[in-house]
Amino acid sequence: MSLSKDSESSMTAISETGMHKGQNGTGALTDKGAPARTRKQEKAGEQDAKVSGRALGRMVEAFMRLPGIGRKSAERLAFAVLGMQKDEAAGIAQAILDLKDSSRYCPLCNNITEDELCSICSDSRRDPAIICVVEEPSNILVLEKTGTFRGRYHALLGALSPLDGIGPEDLKIEGLLDRLRAGGVTEVILATNPTVKGETTALYLARLIKPLGIGVSRIAYGLPVGGDIEYADENTVQRALQGRRAM
Ligand SMILES: [Zn+2]
């Protein structure tokens, strides 16, 4: 199960779906063909083509497809590549292709892996009784950095979004239910995003999971550590109050 059908469209696929925040909500790493060029990209491509040559313009355009990279950053990166030794630049190009060729979804939890099972599913020290459900594999990385969760994960590869036509069948829900029906799981932590889509997804899953006799919990919301209540928005403060715990 390779993530790309061909390496040529690899960068296209990553940029089009934002790797982990797909516009279609599924966050799929699958190729959807060549993306329509955005106005931002067209503008950059044209301007650079006029000013500095086609190859440089294409490089700028390619970088602008990455999340968080605007025109100026893309230009800076493109010129940095231009200033590299050829083998150094080739190393970057090869790393991108290797990433796309070797990475796949873990068949159990949909985490990104290069092996048969991901490092978490194949780690016998991880508690199989607790499954933390997230929207995207990139969320697993964030949770793992905290070092506090010792259970397993399940990435849905998106969130429910009826307005965008994303229904339960578009997410990896059946795989989650299979894992739960197999037994041994006592708690499911719903760690979908605190957004309308994430909440909708969490409510939907809770309704499916509770009848199986498995405990369902939702991650708490709160104020940012080091933050000031004065600067928090009302919804966040309200959630923080609701999610309070005894001391
Ligand atoms: Zn896994």
> Residue 224 carries which DSSP code?
P
Residue written as token pair 């968080």: 68
- Range of 1-5, 13-17, 67-71 with top mean pLDDT: 67-71
Q: 3-class SS at 153?
A: strand
Q: Which of 102, 130, 156 is the last residue of a domain?
A: 102
Query: Is residue 88, in this structure, part of any structural domain at all?
Result: yes
Cα of 115 vs centre of ligand 1, distance in Å, is 10
- What predicted TM-score, i.e. pTM, was given to this entire model? 0.70
Band (pLDDT 50/70/90 cuts) for residue 212 is very high
pLDDT score of 5 more than 80: no
Supply the pLDDT for residue 221.
Answer: 83
Q: Tell me, what CATH number does 202's domain have?
A: 3.40.1360.10
Which residue carries 């009848």 as its tokens? Answer: 211
Ligand 1 centroid–CA 126 distance in Å is 11
From the CB of residue 124, how many other CB atoms can be counted at a distance below 10 Å?
A: 6
Alpha carbon of 122 to ligand 1 centroid (Å) = 7
Distance 149 CA to ligand 1 centre (A): 15
**Are 178 and 237 within one domain?**
yes
pLDDT above 90 as % of the chain: 65
Burial class (CB in 10 A: 0-12, 13-18, 19+), 221: middle
Q: Which one-letter DSSP state was computed for residue 189?
A: E
CA of 236 to the centre of ligand 1 (A): 32
What domain range is 197 assigned to? Answer: 112-242
112 CA distance to ligand 1 centroid (A)? 8
**Res. 42 pLDDT band, cuts 50 70 90:** low
Q: Is 74 exposed, middle or buried (0-12, 13-18, 19+ CB in 10 A)?
A: buried
Q: Which of 54, 72, 102 is the last residue of a domain?
A: 102
Mean pLDDT of 193-202: 93
- How many separate domains does the chain show? 2
Residue 153 has pLDDT above 90, yes or no: yes
Residue 107 domain flag: no
Residue 28 CA to residue 18 CA, distance in Å, equals: 9
User: Which among 169, 171, 134 has a CA at the least distance from the CA of 152?
Assistant: 134
Phi, psi of 79 (to 5 degrees): -70, -30
Average pLDDT across the chain, whole number: 83
The arithmetic mean of pLDDT across residues 61-88, rounded, is 96
**Candidate from 52-56, 142-146, 187-191 with smallest mean pLDDT:** 52-56
Residue 27 pLDDT > 50, yes or no?
A: no
Phi first, then psi, for residue 11 (nearest 5°) are -65, -35
Q: What is the arithmetic mean of pLDDT over 160-177?
A: 95
User: In DSSP terms, which residues pair with 166 in a beta bridge?
Assistant: 161
- Please say whether the beta carbons of 176 and 119 come within 8 A: no
Q: Kindly give the distance from the C-alpha atom of residue 205 to the centroid of ligand 1, in angstroms, as a whole number.
A: 19
Distance, CA of 102 to CA of 169 (rounded, Å): 27
pLDDT of 154 higher than 80 = yes
Average pLDDT of 126-141?
96
What is the Å distance from ligand 1's center to 118 Cα?
Answer: 4
| CA 148 – ligand 1 centroid, Å | 18
